[in-house]
Amino acid sequence: MFESIRRWLSQLGGSPSPTPQSEPGHGVSSFHLWWQGVDGGAPLVEVAATLEVLHQPAIDRLYFWALQTSFISDRGTHGAAHIGLQWNPRHPGSKAVNWGGYADVADVRSILEGSPSPLPSTPADPNTRDYPWQEGVAYRLRVYRSPVGWRGSVTDLSTGVESVIRDLYAPGDRLGSFVVWSEIFAACGHPQTVVQWSDFSAVSSDGDVRHPASVRLTFPTGGDCPNTDVVMSQGGLLQITNTVRTARDAAVLPVPGR
């Protein structure tokens, strides 16, 4: 579930590249959009992005789409966490939302503690809660300061209803290193899925709202599926599985509307 954070630290190697019809070499394939152009000035204390699942999964495997942030203070970086929607067969209708992370990304045992969630969880997972998101509906993922840590919430933009997931007892007094990603625990040839990311924003401690002008793409090597792609659309940036890859690793794309 926290595979993407661990994979920040090193490239996994030693496995042959999978074919478009095989399983990814380490059981998961991930790809990322790193925000550029939001740093500088007052520290950032809130971050948000809009996610819409345009074509949902059709199999009983875990799919995870998330916004990730690091927790920062004057002493350095103190871990990271991710907030996002999941297609997760352990939850009703395979629909769930997650807000969790690590106090130390180098230590998988350092899972961040948090407050009880007002949302139910069928498997009683403190990080992942039941959430009946719908295909074709946009959801606003948001992380911001709370009295006891960092709060994660999801807003259904078709209704305007915001649901607090919970607070993470995370260190740091600011946020940074923003990235959105897809993490796919499925075979490379399983039915295509499409999600759209849009409306990236961060808010500074003095109320300045910043938007990244571009994103840098990464497609990790060492067994990830070769047929994932990132494509610009009129409404945002699409992350697509089981397709012909047209983007290249480390490419920089403008954020539509900016």
Predicted local distance difference test score (pLDDT) of residue 4? 43
**Is 32 within 8 Å of 184 (Cβ atoms)?**
no
CATH assignment of the domain containing 111: 2.60.120
> What range defines the domain where residue 11 resides?
3-254
Identify any residues that bridge with 51 across adjacent strands, giving them in sequence order: 139, 197
Number of alpha carbons in the 13 Å side-chain half-sphere of residue 18: 24
Q: Which residues of the chain have pLDDT under 70?
A: 1-17, 20
pTM more than 0.85? yes
Predicted local distance difference test score (pLDDT) of residue 13? 37
- What's the total number of domains in the chain? 1
Pairwise CA distance, residues 151 & 170, whole Å: 10
Predicted local distance difference test score (pLDDT) of residue 136? 98
Predicted local distance difference test score (pLDDT) of residue 2? 43
Predicted local distance difference test score (pLDDT) of residue 15? 44
Predicted local distance difference test score (pLDDT) of residue 221? 80
